[in-house]
């Protein structure tokens, strides 16, 4: 009885791994066929160094401007938040409920100590 169970399991696992192997081999074969077949219009044109350097410099300047803007906005948000008083900050009812629950648990814990 036990020997048949092991034999059936081995056959099932063997067939599963064989099927997975066939799928992987098919994928390799298909990708190699696609790589080998190139159309004549797919030639890569050599890039001109002057144009590439100018493009990189523009990208660097744009990135620096984006970082500066992000830092300025973050500073502005921080100043705006600091300017609010404690009374102006509103909390949702859910936050109030959660805070009350935590305080009641803390009181219970303190009284049991």
Per-residue pLDDT at 87: 52
pLDDT of residue 61: 86
CA-to-CA distance for 72 and 77, rounded, in angstroms? 9
Question: Is residue 10 in some structural domain?
Answer: no
Residue 62 lies in a domain: yes
Which percentage of the chain shows pLDDT scores above 90?
35
Assigned domain for 60 exists = yes
Q: What are phi and psi of 92, to 5 degrees?
A: -80, 165
Spatial separation of the C-alpha atoms in residues 54 and 63, rounded to whole Å: 14
96: in domain: no
Q: Helix/strand/coil (H, E, C) string of 37-75?
A: CCCHHHCCCCCCHHHHHHHHHHHHHHHHHHHHHHHHHHH
Residue 95 forms part of a structural domain: no
Q: Would you state the pLDDT for residue 33?
A: 86
Number of compact structural domains in the chain: 1
pLDDT at 102: 92
Give the pLDDT score at 20: 97
pLDDT of residue 47: 60
CA 83 to CA 69: how far, in whole Å? 21
Domain that holds residue 60: 56-80
pLDDT at 3: 84
Rounded distance between C-alpha atoms, residue 16 and residue 23, angstroms: 11
Looking at residue 41, what is its pLDDT? Answer: 57
DSSP H or E run through 88: none
Q: What is the pLDDT of residue 45?
A: 64
pLDDT under 70: residue ranges of the chain: 37-54, 82-89
């Amino acid at each position: 009885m036990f020997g048949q169970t092991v034999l059936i399991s081995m056959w099932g696992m063997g067939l599963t791994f064989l099927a997975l192997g066939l799928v992987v081999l098919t994928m390799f074969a298909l990708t190699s066929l696609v790589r080998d077949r190139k159309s004549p219009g797919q030639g890569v044109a050599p890039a001109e160094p002057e144009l590439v350097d100018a493009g990189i410099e523009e990208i660097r300047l744009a990135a620096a401007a984006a970082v500066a803007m992000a830092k300025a906005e973050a500073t502005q948000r921080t100043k705006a938040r600091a300017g609010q008083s404690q009374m102006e900050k509103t909390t949702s009812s859910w936050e109030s409920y959660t805070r009350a629950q935590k305080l009641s648990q803390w009181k219970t814990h303190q009284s049991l100590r």
